[in-house]
Amino acid sequence: MAQVIDGKQLASQVLEDAAAEVEWLKHHFESVPGLAVVLVGDDAASQIYVRNKIKRAKEAGIASFEHYLEADTSQATLDALIQELNDDPGVHGILVQLPLPEHIDEARIISSILPEKDVDGFHPANVGALSQGRASLVPCTPQGCLIMLRHVHQDLSGKNAVIVGRSNIVGKPMAALLLQENCTVTIAHSRTRDIRKVCQEADILIAATGSPGLIQSDWIKPEATVIDVGINAIEVDGQRKLIGDVDFDGASQVAGAISPVPGGVGPMTIACLLLNTTRAAKNQLT
């Protein structure tokens, strides 16, 4: 049986680090890190995530500013809110929950956030910095995955890492981080030929497809480390249930280590968001 990587436990350690940073900022600079969270529309899952983020922020001593906007909010109104948050010295981090409604230009909103307040790491300036291996605000989910991998492996150098999924928020930044760790990185996706065979070569397999249970035990190299980024809500007997992109029961018979869903990458993502917020606040000290 594979080692199960406990995301909740690791996340609580990261949250402790964030809380210690907050204390340091308060004590030495009388600065309280502030995180603004913007949610447009009333998607139920998004509301759960946003509530979790705010709860954890409070626990870490971070001030949170919540902005809930109607689904039919105009681009101009959202633009104006971002400007206001950019100009607010008490706000060190801005998170605009994605996806945004169809009529909003997502790329324009992301680009309008000050890069130093972009705690998601999605601004082109931060994406460019990560791609060039310069220090920056790194997207929270890949950062959390890397902490999980480092928990299992002292050295990732030379390992074959296969990332399934090529999104801007997980797949691509994950590839950049693993390249920095000297992995041999492959990004597989929906058009990849014989994707199962590609995955079978992976010492490290990152599943970020949004396709529930796609990855089966026979895709996995014996003793590989599997990180499941998928968080898919399905209904079983009228009950909401979360499952990952990996068939956990099968995969854990083959893998050396595996992260579960829930209790894996999700809590790590939130913890890294708060760590990014304290980093952003530190960088904004005048």
- For residues 262 and 8, the answer to whether their CB atoms sit within 8 Å is no
Select from 39, 21, 37 the least CA-distant residue to 29: 21
Strands laid side by side in the 34-40 sheet? 63-69, 34-40, 93-96
Taking the complex as a whole, how short is the minimal distance between the CB of residue 134 and ligand GUE, in angstroms? 22
Q: Which of residues 144-183 bind ligand GUE (CB under 6 A)?
A: none
42 catalytic? Reply is no
97 catalytic? Reply is yes
Binding track, positions 51-70, relative to ligand GUE; x by CB under 6 A: -x------------------
Q: Which stretch binds ligand GUE (CB under 6 A): 25-33, 77-85, 96-104, 220-228?
A: 96-104
Q: How far is CA 233 from CA 1, 102, 162, 209, 268, in A?
A: 26, 22, 24, 14, 18
188 contacts ligand GUE (rule: CB under 6 A): no
Sign of CA dihedral 224, 140, 167, 159: negative
Residues 6+ apart with CB under 8 A from 191: none
* Sole binder of ligand GUE in the list 4, 49, 65, 256 (CB under 6 A): 49
* Sole binder of ligand GUE in the list 20, 26, 42, 48 (CB under 6 A): 48
Residue 176 or 195 with smaller CB distance to ligand GUE: 176
Q: Which of 3, 47, 75, 97 is catalytic?
A: 97
120 catalytic? Reply is yes
Applying CB under 6 A, what is the total number of residues that bind ligand GUE?
18
98 contacts ligand GUE (rule: CB under 6 A): yes
Question: Phi then psi for 225, rounded to 5 degrees?
Answer: -100, 125
What is the C-alpha to C-alpha distance for residues 215 and 72, in angstroms, rounded to an integer? 37
121 known member of a binding site: no
- For residues 163 and 206, the answer to whether their CB atoms sit within 8 Å is yes
Tell me which residues touch ligand GUE (CB under 6 A). Answer: 48-49, 52, 95-98, 120, 140, 231, 242, 261-263, 266-267, 269-270
- Bind-site residues for NADP(+): 165-167, 231
